[in-house]
Structure 1
Amino acid sequence: MGFLDFIFGAKKRQIKDYVNNGAIILDVRTQREWDSGHIDNSVHIPLNELNNRVDEVKKINKPIVACCASGIRSAKATKFLNLKNIDTINGGGWVNLKSKL
C-alpha cells in the first residue's frame, strides 16, 4: 500500500463509517447540476443557500457528508457546517462519492 492509497483509503473508510452510522449526503451543487443527476436519498441545499438554511440542516440531527461536483464547494460547506457545530466531512465530487458508497 502506497502513501496515496493509505490517505485516500482512509478517506473512503471514513465516508463509509459516516454513512453506516446514519450520516446523510448533502449535495451543495446548483439546481441545474442536481437536476442532471445526484445520489439517491441525498439532500439538496445549494451552497449559496446554506447560510440561510443552516437550521434546516441542524434539524436533520445526523452527521453530514457534503458533496458537490469536484470537492471545492463541499469543502467550503464542510468548513461552514463544522463552525456551526454540525458534524460534517467532505465527500468530494458526487460521482466519485457515489462509487464509494
Structure 2
Amino acid sequence: MNEINVMTTDELQKALEENKDLAIIDVREDEEVAQGMIPTAKHIPLGHVPEEVDNLDSSKEYVMVCRSGKRSMNASEFLNQKGFKKVNNLEGGMLDWKGELVF
C-alpha cells in the first residue's frame, strides 16, 4: 500500500487558485455539507464511497475532505487500496478551511 499524501488547507487553496487539475471529494454527511462545501467539490458520503469508486477515474488526482480529516483518511486509504495512486487527505478538514464555501 502506498502512503497517503497529506495536503494542508493552504496547499489546497493555492492549488485551486492555480486551477490545478484535481478532484475534491467531500465525504461528510448531508447535514454537514449543507453548511457549505469547498468550490468544485463533489459530495460522496463516506458510506457511499465503495459503491461510487467505479465511477471515479483512477488516473486523476483526488483530495478527500471531511470535517476534521479522520473520515477522509479512511476514504483515502480505501481509494489507495483500490489502486488510486494520487490521493491526498485534507489535513484538518473543513474545521481548518478558511476559503470560499458553496451551498
TM-score by length of 1: 0.72
Larger Rg: 1
Corresponding residue number in structure 2 for 1:34 = 33
- CA distance in structure 2 between the aligned counterparts of 1:32 and 1:25, rounded to whole angstroms: 18
Corresponding residue number in structure 2 for 1:81 = 79
- CA distance in structure 1 between the aligned counterparts of 2:83 and 2:98, rounded to whole angstroms: 25
Matched residue count? 89
Matches within 5 A, 1:1-101: 11-12=7-8, 15=12, 21-58=20-57, 61-86=59-84, 87-92=86-91, 93-99=93-99
Paired letter, 1:57: L
Unaligned runs of 5+ residues in structure 1 are 1-9
- CA distance in structure 1 between the aligned counterparts of 2:21 and 2:53, rounded to whole angstroms: 19
Structure-2 change in CA distance of 1:94 and 1:57 (3 Å)? farther
Larger helix share, 1 or 2? 1
In the TM superposition, what is the alpha-carbon distance from 1:89 to its structure 2 partner? 1.0
- CA distance in structure 2 between the aligned counterparts of 1:77 and 1:18, rounded to whole angstroms: 21
Unaligned runs of 5+ residues in structure 2 are 1-5
- Between 1 and 2, higher relative CO (CA 8 Å, sep ≥ 6) is seen in 2
Query: Which secondary structure state, in structure 2, belongs to the residue aligned with residue 82 of structure 1?
Result: helix
In the TM superposition, what is the alpha-carbon distance from 1:96 to its structure 2 partner? 2.1
Report the aligned-residue RMSD. 2.5
Q: Is the CA contact (8 Å cut-off) linking 2:69 and 2:89 kept in structure 1?
A: yes
More deviation, 14-23/68-77: 14-23
In the TM superposition, what is the alpha-carbon distance from 1:22 to its structure 2 partner? 0.7
In the TM superposition, what is the alpha-carbon distance from 1:97 to its structure 2 partner? 4.2
Identity of counterpart residues, as a percentage? Answer: 31
In the TM superposition, what is the alpha-carbon distance from 1:42 to its structure 2 partner? 0.5
- CA distance in structure 2 between the aligned counterparts of 1:91 and 1:43, rounded to whole angstroms: 14
